[in-house]
A and B are shown apart, each in its own frame.
Chain A
């Protein structure tokens, strides 16, 4: 294999499965788009039914829109037909008499008012439909969002953020387009088609057959082209998906690329993907673009045939010129609705598939509802007891085995152990992010699943391993812990968390706006804000999951001192890598493979000379 071939093979393995989202032309939305390759809706009738529920909430507007559609289609058809009597009666009377300007004027006035009626109703119709579409979309987004709030954490483990995002963006967009324009254009097209056909038959049967003769040929060409271009289109989308994925990954890791002098190889790989995209794009775009000229040509052929056959009919069978004129217009119009329906069917299907993906999220099982007599703690003291708790993310693999422990208010319980030992998992059970499979967890003697879930969580303040902030001022971010906290309380909490000093250094102090991902703050600073957020809440149970891992030890000590009085009345759980963080705990649990293998105070554990002692000696060498 040559070097290029090797690179190409590796790229295929890494990015081959990515597909850019349909219609979006790629972009960040398309990253986790593996499952959208087959963009076919599975249960069309069911999905349409559910969409209708949204649309039908606007019955009055919908009825109005339907009336407008009928009026506009009817008046367009009527006006186009009026040309025939006008020519035959007033301009070139069939009986050979001279034309009648006064009559022509009157007839044209009628024609003009019919036109106007059509225009006004077209406008009203699109306004109403736009409104219906947007209202339905708004409700749908609202439902999706609020349902997602109710979904358990487990759901988010199994779905990537990119995938969920693309349901909010691409999928809902497609549905929106369908609701506000595609559906109605299909409907109007159908109506126009039927009306035109009726008028054509009324005008001249033979000419109608000539016109229709071309349609099967045209349809055949259209489907053939659509198939070919569909094939190349999906090739293009996967090439685009691969390229976008590559761009995203390499730009994200650009600093590493620079440190490793990897720019040349990166360019080489990019060029392979780029060339592949070019090849596929040329084919896809070419076949996609052919549709226009082919349709155009077939319209012209129909027009030609109509003109020739119509002309001959005029000569041989006395077909009237007015009739031929309107018929020529019809022959041009006739192809358009068919074309429109054919073209929009693909987008209707992809919109339905999008709607299905949206509904799939809405159908996902929410967190189990509270019992009717669920307990409301008043107030909670924070006496936590775990008895023989076992838990696994899936049934056949237990992550936690037979965990028992207790923690009284004012106590600090620490968890120590290697990555993957189950420390974070234990803590996720307390606020019921997951429910235990075996054993019980009680707080103040009440099993946690008997509390109202919201009340339970309000009583547990967490500082999570991954520090997350929201777009907004620093003040707002800390206040997130307790929405009714005063500015003074927020600043107090920031002082407790040793965050006050750096916040005051910022250009706008507490009013500094931070990005959602907090990219303008260091990891350590973000952790300080997270701690401040938890301190401002008055929850009796406090969980610190690697809360200070990126904070230097001196600052950490300041935080500990600051939080000392805070912890006095609270039950605190601490997970930490640094053993210095946990040594003053009332009890330290050493976890390994989901089991507590040692427990006791720092001194007890050192005396045991077990796992903790081993871990600690990595540090004990200091002395």
Chain B
């Protein structure tokens, strides 16, 4: 809880004054019935209309104080709750920005989004509720009790018996209901996931004519949800009758004992009326209190999930970097006996995503690996500045894992990666990544205009530069063909441009960064060969000094590279240029022949 004090501090005044203001409301509610009983006992009994009017004025005054207190208390609690969560949201988001790739693999995207949106919203509701009710409900309870005691001590004894009984019953109900609610939530999640999946896979379902199969699955999930909802709700709806039961029993008991006292002349009628009002108030506030507790129990889960992010220690940082001011100047790369395994994904417990599934490493490009299996083993090579190096190998042989170590998206498990002769761990992350441009395999564009997207590479780039680099990436021709040109709005995820266009825009975006090292991870798979060739030509002529690493499926994409690294199952099989490899490397020959019809290759 201590870590939340900085979020309370700026709003400390509101946090304190809010609940106090709420107490004035309590004061009104408690005092008004008392005044009313005075009207009956003294005014009516003594036929004193002036007295009645005087007390009436007092009551109206109490109403005025009440509304002022209520409104101000509401304002202060809103200010503090919104301020608290707003600041928390800001820092939570900033925290996520420090997450490494491994951290992002661990928390799923959906789970992080939920934490930043729904969970925080839930917390805000709870803080607001707590501030409004923190003193109010207990205040009503205590105030009501005191007034009841003052009116008639013996009658108040009834309350002392009833309150614990009621509290215990509510406790029992909630204790039963709470696990049922979480089972209901699980069933709801299952249903939603099922629907989502069917919606996504609608073409698959249709093409295999599996509509009935899907409906069967759905019917089961739907039935489950109904049953669990009923289980939970049938418990909750007991609350009201139980509550009413105790209230009524109390009322009857009060009238019986009070009535006898009045008959015996030991109590006044007005007191009885007031007493019944207090009984209602006290039991109601008990009810409210239990609601707040129930609500906050639910928000505690949200609190836990938010705290998990806040407390999370990112997998890698540059705190210990020795040469923080150093920038990448030349672009040489050296791997010294590098081995690498993806970090185990057991660092967080996400109650929402545990589904009994066999845990797999979060990274999609680590195929077939059991947890912690090395995906790269004893890799050593050196690349000079300005060199173009291709990387080839079967699906899942570790190509992506290898290049991700250069901008330090992951840290090596053993060995060293050097850029310009300096360990990448000794650069500040900022300078290292400024120097290394990378086009990811799973790439995204963001909502905004094309020019805004391209300027991710360099915020201050001139329009001419943007166009020039788009030309290199062979993107200018289709962008210019758009009616709005570079001002065309890209939709979230880049869904309104084709796969090949998206890849070209992503390349242009990386080029604008003017990195010393440029890494393309299978970034032209959706681009046709002729266009790809033009991109490679532009690289060769316009980016002479940039070190280029190109992962590709097609041999044609890397054939002209200075050198080609051939990989298999986490190892480097051979390094050399096309001519050398075609002579001596059987794996390379295999890839080559699989792409070029055998009988046409006349070596």
A462-B59 in contact (CB<8A): no
Question: Given contacts A142-B219, A315-B44, A458-B209, is CB(A618)–CB(B90) below 8 Å?
Answer: no
A623-B211 in contact (CB<8A): no
**Distance of B103 from chain A, by nearest CB (Å):** 10
Question: How far apart are the CA atoms of A332 and B52 in the complex, in Å?
Answer: 20
Is the CB of A515 closer than 8 A to any CB of chain B?
A: yes
Residues 258-292 (chain A) with a chain B CB within 8 angstroms: 258-263, 265-267, 270-271, 274-275, 277-278, 281-282, 285-286, 289-290, 292
Is the CB of B165 closer than 8 A to any CB of chain A?
A: no
Q: Which chain A residues border B110 with CB–CB below 8 Å?
A: 28
Contact indicator per residue, chain A 7-47, by CB within 8 Å of chain B (1) or not (0): 00010011100000000011110000000000000000000
Question: Given contacts A27-B118, A134-B230, is CB(A505)–CB(B259) below 8 Å?
Answer: no
**Distance of A286 from chain B, by nearest CB (Å):** 5
Least CB separation from B261: chain A residue: A91
B255-A115 in contact (CB<8A): no
Question: How far apart are the CA atoms of A14 and B553 in the complex, in Å?
Answer: 36
A507-B601 in contact (CB<8A): no
Is the CB of B393 closer than 8 A to any CB of chain A?
A: yes
Q: Which chain A residues border B203 with CB–CB below 8 Å?
A: 153, 433, 462, 464, 468
Interface residues on B, range: 35 or more
Question: Given contacts A470-B201, A519-B364, is CB(A267)–CB(B396) below 8 Å?
Answer: no
A325-B199 in contact (CB<8A): no
A251-B229 in contact (CB<8A): no
B43-A315 in contact (CB<8A): yes
Is the CB of B594 closer than 8 A to any CB of chain A?
A: yes
**Distance of A156 from chain B, by nearest CB (Å):** 5
Question: How far apart are the CA atoms of A546 and B129 in the complex, in Å?
Answer: 55
Least CB separation from B28: chain A residue: A300
A321-B121 in contact (CB<8A): no
**Distance of B224 from chain A, by nearest CB (Å):** 10
B226-A149 in contact (CB<8A): no
A523-B364 in contact (CB<8A): yes
**Distance of A542 from chain B, by nearest CB (Å):** 11
Q: Which chain A residues border B433 with CB–CB below 8 Å?
A: 258-261
Is the CB of B394 closer than 8 A to any CB of chain A?
A: yes
Least CB separation from B72: chain A residue: A293
Residues 445-499 (chain A) with a chain B CB within 8 angstroms: 454, 457-458, 460-462, 464, 468-471, 480-481, 483
Q: Which chain B residues border A329 with CB–CB below 8 Å?
A: 276-277
Q: Which chain A residues border B409 with CB–CB below 8 Å?
A: 255, 258-259
B493-A252 in contact (CB<8A): yes
Is the CB of B138 closer than 8 A to any CB of chain A?
A: no
Segment from B239-247, B379-387, B411-419 that makes contact with A: B239-247
Partner of B199, one of A28, A156, A517: A156
B215-A256 in contact (CB<8A): no
**Distance of B170 from chain A, by nearest CB (Å):** 15
Segment from B290-298, B325-333, B352-360, B541-549 that makes contact with A: B352-360
Segment from B76-84, B155-163, B461-469 that makes contact with A: B76-84
Q: Which chain A residues border B499 with CB–CB below 8 Å?
A: 419
**Distance of B537 from chain A, by nearest CB (Å):** 12
A468-B200 in contact (CB<8A): yes
Least CB separation from B21: chain A residue: A293
Segment from A304-312, A344-352, A373-381, A593-601 that makes contact with B: A304-312
**Distance of B11 from chain A, by nearest CB (Å):** 11
Question: Given contacts A142-B222, A161-B199, is CB(A253)–CB(B446) below 8 Å?
Answer: yes
Q: Which of A169, A454, A514, A522 has the most CB of B within 10 A?
A: A522
Least CB separation from A454: chain B residue: B209
Question: Given contacts A105-B256, A130-B230, A520-B360, is CB(A554)–CB(B590) below 8 Å?
Answer: yes
Q: Which chain B residues border A433 with CB–CB below 8 Å?
A: 203, 206-207
Segment from A116-124, A388-396, A564-572 that makes contact with B: A116-124
Is the CB of A83 closer than 8 A to any CB of chain B?
A: yes
Is the CB of B218 closer than 8 A to any CB of chain A?
A: yes
Contact indicator per residue, chain B 53-70, by CB within 8 Å of chain A (1) or not (0): 101100110110011011
Is the CB of A213 closer than 8 A to any CB of chain B?
A: no
Residues 20-78 (chain A) with a chain B CB within 8 angstroms: 25-28
**Distance of B586 from chain A, by nearest CB (Å):** 12
B99-A294 in contact (CB<8A): no
Partner of B44, one of A14, A270, A314, A533: A314
Is the CB of B93 closer than 8 A to any CB of chain A?
A: yes
Question: Given contacts A289-B78, A615-B528, is CB(A471)–CB(B193) below 8 Å?
Answer: yes
Contact indicator per residue, chain B 488-532, by CB within 8 Å of chain A (1) or not (0): 010011000011110000000100010000000000011011101
Least CB separation from B65: chain A residue: A297
Q: Which chain B residues border A256 with CB–CB below 8 Å?
A: 440, 443-444, 446, 456
Question: How far apart are the CA atoms of A26 and B85 in the complex, in Å?
Answer: 15
A251-B112 in contact (CB<8A): yes
Question: Given contacts A119-B248, A142-B222, A457-B207, is CB(A293)–CB(B71) below 8 Å?
Answer: yes
Residues 342-391 (chain B) with a chain A CB within 8 angstroms: 355-362, 364-371
Is the CB of B176 closer than 8 A to any CB of chain A?
A: no
B525-A550 in contact (CB<8A): yes
Q: Which of B35, B96, B407, B559 has the most CB of A within 10 A?
A: B96
B601-A623 in contact (CB<8A): yes
Least CB separation from A498: chain B residue: B395
Q: Which chain A residues border B394 with CB–CB below 8 Å?
A: 552, 554-555
- Interface contact tally, CB-CB below 8 A: 496
A161-B263 in contact (CB<8A): no
Least CB separation from A457: chain B residue: B209
Partner of A292, one of B39, B74, B97, B500: B74
Is the CB of A164 closer than 8 A to any CB of chain B?
A: yes
A521-B262 in contact (CB<8A): no
Question: How far apart are the CA atoms of A35 and B542 in the complex, in Å?
Answer: 48
**Distance of A586 from chain B, by nearest CB (Å):** 16
Is the CB of B580 closer than 8 A to any CB of chain A?
A: no
B446-A249 in contact (CB<8A): yes
Least CB separation from B54: chain A residue: A308
Contact indicator per residue, chain B 534-573, by CB within 8 Å of chain A (1) or not (0): 0000000000000000000111100100000000000000
Is the CB of B595 closer than 8 A to any CB of chain A?
A: yes
Segment from A96-104, A196-204, A407-415 that makes contact with B: A96-104
**Distance of A513 from chain B, by nearest CB (Å):** 4
Is the CB of B273 closer than 8 A to any CB of chain A?
A: yes
A502-B590 in contact (CB<8A): no
Q: Which chain B residues border A551 with CB–CB below 8 Å?
A: 395
Q: Which chain A residues border B77 with CB–CB below 8 Å?
A: 289
**Distance of A237 from chain B, by nearest CB (Å):** 12
Is the CB of A208 closer than 8 A to any CB of chain B?
A: no
Residues 307-363 (chain A) with a chain B CB within 8 angstroms: 307-308, 311-312, 314-316, 321, 324-325, 328-329, 332
A14-B448 in contact (CB<8A): yes
Partner of B358, one of A260, A508, A622: A508
Is the CB of B113 closer than 8 A to any CB of chain A?
A: yes
Is the CB of A386 closer than 8 A to any CB of chain B?
A: no
Question: How far apart are the CA atoms of A388 and B3 in the complex, in Å?
Answer: 71
B595-A286 in contact (CB<8A): no
Is the CB of B272 closer than 8 A to any CB of chain A?
A: yes
Least CB separation from B110: chain A residue: A28
A86-B456 in contact (CB<8A): no
A149-B492 in contact (CB<8A): no
B70-A297 in contact (CB<8A): yes
A255-B101 in contact (CB<8A): yes
B109-A293 in contact (CB<8A): no
Question: How far apart are the CA atoms of A61 and B277 in the complex, in Å?
Answer: 36
Q: Which chain A residues border B116 with CB–CB below 8 Å?
A: 247, 251
The 9 closest A-B pairs by CB, nearest first: A293-B70, A618-B529, A505-B368, A99-B263, A308-B56, A524-B395, A25-B121, A520-B360, A297-B67
Q: List 13 A-B contacts (CB under 8 A).
A: A134-B226, A247-B113, A247-B117, A249-B492, A300-B28, A305-B56, A505-B368, A506-B368, A517-B200, A522-B366, A557-B594, A614-B530, A617-B530
Q: Knowing that A10-B452, A615-B528 touch, tell me 16 more A-B residue pairs with CB under 8 angstroms.
A: A14-B447, A119-B244, A119-B248, A126-B240, A134-B226, A138-B225, A138-B226, A142-B219, A249-B493, A255-B442, A307-B56, A471-B193, A550-B525, A552-B591, A622-B555, A622-B559
